[in-house]
Amino acid sequence: MAKKNQKKGSYKPGPVVQQPITETLELNFMPYAMSVIMSRAIPEIDGFKPSHRKLLYTMYKMGLLTGNRTKSANVVGQCMKLNPHGDSAIYETLVRLSRGHEALLTPFVDSKGNFGKFYSRDMAYAASRYTEAKLAPICQELFRDIDSNCVDFVDNYDSTTKEPVLLPTTFPNLLVSANQGIAVGMASNICGFNLAEVCNTTVAYIKNPDCDLFATLPAPDFSTGGEILFEKNVLEEIYRTGRGSFRIRARYRYIKKQNIIEIYEIPYTTTIEAIIDKIADLIKSGDFKEISDIRDETDINGLKITINLKRNADPENLMQRLYRQTPLMDSFSCNFNLLVAGTPRVMGIREILEEWTAWRYECVRRRLYYDLEQKRNRLHLLMGLSKILLDIDRAIKIIRETEEEDEVIPNLMIGFQIDKDQAEFIAEIKLRNINKQYILRRIADTEKLQKEIVSIENILKSRDKVMKIIIEELEAIAKKHGAPRRTGIVYDFDLSTPEIEETVEDYAVNLFLSSEGYFKKITPLSLRMGGEQRFKESDELSQTFEASNADEVMFFTNKQQVYKCRLFEFEDSKASVLGDFLPAKLEMDEDEVVLYMCLPGDYSGHMLFFFENGKVAKVDIAAYQTKSNRRRLTGAYSDKSPVVAMFHIQQDEEFAVISSDTRTLMFNSALLAPKATRSVAGVTVMSLKSNRRVVKAVKADESGIENTSRYRKRKLPSPGSLLRPEDIGENQLNMEL
C-alpha cells in the first residue's frame, strides 16, 4: 500500500554499495568462469561434455540400448532430471549426436526422421515430437561394465538420483568424436579421427610408447569427407602439441558428357550455402565467366553441388581457382584442450593416449576388483551351502522346530557353524530346491569360482595382463565397429597461386549510353540489322563509342565515384532493347546516376572536370589506373562544387565555357597544368560575378559559335564576353539559364 500511495517520481533509490573490482572478480566472475570451463564447454578424458554424457546416460537408463526407438521429446523430458536446461538446448545436443545429422564420424544416436544436416545451414531439423531415437550399437562400448563400479557416480543437481562422473569408454572417444567448445578465456577444437585407426594406434602405443603415430593414424577423418592436404611438418606439430591448422578441400567429379562439375564432399568447416553464395558473388563480379549456372542438388542420396560450365571451359583449372577463392578449400584449426582431473590441458596425441591409457587401466582394475569381490561373495555363500550337504534333514528340522521366524537365521548359524550371510542364503532356498541334486549342482560351481578368483588375482598383480585386456577390447572394437576412411589424403599438391590468364573473345562493338544510365553493347552486324535505337520516352542518347570487347570502360557518377569494368562483362545487346540499367548492374548507391562514360585505353591523356564555380581540374587519367581489380574508386573528382561537364582528351583541345548570364569563354586546355591527384579542386578559368555559375562546357568545335576569336582568351582567369546573337549558329546547343 505504501508503494501505491507514493507520488509519481517520489521513489528514491537505496544507497550504492561500492565493491572493489578484485572482489567482484573473485566472488562473481570466477565462479561463473569455472562453471563454464568445468561443466559446459570443455570435454573430459572420455571425450564427452557434461551435456553429451547426461543425455547418453539418460537414454541408457531408459533401455534404449537394446529396445525400440522412442520419441525424441520423451528423451528430452527424461534428460531434464540430469541436465537442468531448456528442452531446445537438450534437443540440439541429441541432434548433434545423431546419425541423421552427420556431424560425427561415429554417431551415438540411431535416429529416425528429419535431424537436419551438419553441412547445411538451411536444412533445419524437425521438432522433437516428430523424430525418434535410440542408442547406436557403438554405445555398448560406452556403457560396458558401467554397473561394475568402474567409474564414480555422483548426485544429480537435486540429489534425487545418481549419474556417472565419466563414461567407461573402451576406446579413446576423445580422438574419435569431433568436439568444439568456447569457455571463458579458453576454447577447445578437436578434430575427429577414424575409429579403427584410433584403436589400432592405441594398441601400438600401449605396446611401444615411442611408436610412429603416422603409421596407424595418417590424418584426421571427417563425416563430410573431403581431402586433407598432407603437410608432414604441420601434422607433426599438431600431433606433438595439440595446436595448429591443416587444409581440407572438397571432392568433385567432372561429367564430360553434360559438361558439369559435381561437388559431392565438402570441408567439415563450411556449409553448402556458404559455398554457393561465395561462388555466386564471384560470378556476379565477373571473376568466373566459365560458369553458366550453379545449384544445390542435395537430396536423400547425399550432398551435391552442380556447376554448369560454358563451352571450352577447363574444369581442372576452374576448380583450382575455386579452391583458392571459395570455402571449397578451408583450414581446420586444432586446439586439443581437455579436462584432465579437473584441470584444462592442451595436449598432443601421444599425451592424450598416455592419459587415456592410464585412466582406462584404472577402470579395468576397478571392474576386476568388483568382479573379484562378487565371486568371493558367491564362493562364500556356496561354501556355507556345502556344509548342509551331508545333513539336509537336519537343516529342515532346525527350520521346522524354530517357533519364531526371526530365530531361523541364528539357529542355522549355530547348527552348522556358518555366518549370517550364508545362513540367509540357505534360508532363502525354495522348498522345491531342497534336494541333493540342486545342492550338488550349486556346489559344483565352487571349483570353477575358485579358479576364476585365482585368475583375476593373477591379472591384478600384473600390469601387462591388464593391458592385454585393454588391447583385446580395442582390437574387437576396431573389427566390429570400424569403417573405412571418408576423408582422403592428398600427398602431392601445389599450394602456390599461379597467374591465371583469362581468355576473352575479342571483337568490335559499339557502345551506347543514355542520359538516364542505360547501357548497350552491340556488335556491328547486329547494329546494321537492328534499325533505330530504342530508349524510354523521357530518355535520349548521351554518348556513343566504337570499341573492342576486351576494352576497359569507366563510368563517372554524381557521387564523385568511378566504376571500372571490362566490356566483356556485359552481354551483347540489340538496338531494340533498353539495355543494362547501370545503377542496378553495378550496384551503385542510392540516388547515384551515371554522368560520363570513358574508355581509358592505355591510360594516356587527361580528364577535364568543369565545375559551377568556374574552376576546371585537369587530372592525369593514369591516376585512375589500379594494380588490383577494384571495381569502384571513391574520390574520382572534387566535391567542392557541382560538376557541370567532364571530358577525356588525348591531346589539348579548345573548350567553350558558358555562364548563367550568357558570358562565354573559349580557352585551350594547354593553359592548365595537369595534376596527379584525382580530387584536386582545379584552377579558376572563368571569373564569375555574384550569384552567377557555369551552366555549360563543350568542345569549341561543337559549340556552334560563329566568331570564336571574339571569346578566345589567352590568359586565365577571365570573365569572358557576352554571347552575341549573331554568333549563335543553327547548331548552337541549347542553354539552360
Q: Which neighbouring-strand residues pair with 658?
A: 664, 696
Nearest to 307 by CA among 237, 255, 248, 364: 255
Residue 712: phi, psi to the nearest 5? Answer: -80, 130
Assign 3-class secondary structure to 599-643.
Answer: CCCCCCCEEEEEECCCEEEEEEHHHHCCCCCCCEEECCCCCCCCE
Give the H/E segment covering residue 248.
strand 243-249
> Biggest alpha carbon distance in the chain?
152
Alpha-carbon distances, residue 524 vs 12, 47, 97, 505 (angstroms)? 84, 70, 63, 15
* N-term to C-term CA, the chain: 77
Q: Is 323 known to be catalytic?
A: no
The residue type at 205: Y
Give the span between the Cα atoms of 226 and 251, in whole angstroms: 5
- The reply to whether omega before 717 is within 30° of 0 (cis) is yes
Give the span between the Cα atoms of 514 and 573, in whole angstroms: 14
Alpha-carbon distances, residue 424 vs 188, 241, 428, 429, 726 (angstroms)? 54, 59, 6, 9, 136
Determine how β-strand 488-490 pairs with β-strand 227-229: parallel
Give the H/E segment covering residue 572.
none
Q: Which neighbouring-strand residues pair with 508?
A: 548
Dihedral sign for Cα 474, 480, 486, 492, please.
Answer: positive
Burial class of residue 167 in the structure, from the number of CB atoms within 10 Å of its CB (0-12 exposed, 13-18 middle, 19+ buried): buried
DSSP string, 277-301: HHHHHHHHTTS-TTEEEEEE--BTT
Helical pair 420-427 and 349-386, crossing angle rounded to 10 deg: 70
Task: Exactly one of 32, 130, 491, 507 is catalytic; name it.
Answer: 130
Give the span between the Cα atoms of 485 and 308, in whole angstroms: 30
Cα 258 → chain centroid: 31
Q: Which residues carry out catalysis?
A: 130
